[in-house]
Amino acid sequence: KNKTLTVLGLGDMGSALTRSWLAAGYTVTVWNRSPRRAPVGAAVAATVAEAVGANTLVVVCLLDDASVRATLDGVDLTGRDIVNLTTSTPAEARALAEWITARGGNFLDGGIMAVPSMIGAPDSGAYVFYSGSARLHETHAEALAVPAGVTYVGTDAGFAALYDIALLSAMWGMFAGATHAFALIGGEDISPVEFAPLMVAYQQAMAGYAFGTAAQLASGDYTQDVESNLAMMATTNDTLRRTALEQRVSPELLEPFMTLMERRVAEGGGKESTTGVVDLLRR
């Protein structure tokens, strides 16, 4: 089997991807908009067309959706297997899939769940969500497994981006909570370095709460196996607000979630857990 591919984009991520394929013995042709130092061993193409023409498998890792279109516009994509590892929205990925296939190319989208230093590092936990062409995912399984783990989530080209951004959104929530917690202890004689392990352990212990939410969403019974009901939690909101006030910390990171919890209680969801808030958001 010929171990050869093209990578468009030599930013931090594109470079890390390229290095991982070179280290695995692949012949890699690269292209970048502006001159950048290419990873040692890569063949630098002078134009996008030359880079795309060099190999069937073309991996794209540029800044955003607009830069992908700007780069591939006018280039002959006939018979090319385009794997897009540029972060985008689900709708952007679906539209790009149509745009690429209309130009004779095949399309697989990917969402990278890692930072560059984790790419090509065994046991780093890095993986990529893929969705779109099942044939591409199968044909290039070996090459795709080089930089990171492969998690294929279906033929809908938008799903990789959706899974990616859903997980990022969950992470934002975690970051927001940690940010508020550090602000609360900030004015006191408490070492953030000593506090951090307590917070991390607690967040890890509570992370499994999502399994309960998932089971309730699946069954439609939001009162199933509720350990801490929403009415109780909403009462705790007041203590969170007054503590923020006492510590001279803005509650603005917590306020939107607390307000939604209270609205759900007001609408009769007091015996549920937080699952009903999902419905409030989807209205």
Residues lying near ligand NDP in the complex (CB under 6 A): 9-14, 32-34, 36, 61-64, 67, 70-71, 86-87, 112, 115-116
Cβ at position 143, least distance to ligand NDP in Å: 18
CA atoms of 183 and 117, how far apart (whole Å): 30
Cβ at position 71, least distance to ligand NDP in Å: 5
Q: 63: burial class by Cβ within 10 Å (0-12, 13-18, 19+)?
A: middle
CA atoms of 40 and 60, how far apart (whole Å): 19
User: DSSP character for 116?
Assistant: G
Closer Cβ to ligand NDP, 33 or 241, answer by number: 33
CA atoms of 144 and 132, how far apart (whole Å): 14
Cβ at position 260, least distance to ligand NDP in Å: 29
Cβ at position 79, least distance to ligand NDP in Å: 23
Name the closest residue to ligand NDP (Cβ). Answer: 11
Cβ at position 57, least distance to ligand NDP in Å: 18
Closer Cβ to ligand NDP, 121 or 183, answer by number: 121
Closer Cβ to ligand NDP, 36 or 103, answer by number: 36
Task: Report CA-CA distances (Å) from 112 to 49, 160, 200, 278.
Answer: 25, 9, 24, 26
Closer Cβ to ligand NDP, 70 or 178, answer by number: 70
Closer Cβ to ligand NDP, 87 or 275, answer by number: 87
Contact between 106 and 135 (Cβ < 8 Å): yes
User: DSSP character for 207?
Assistant: T
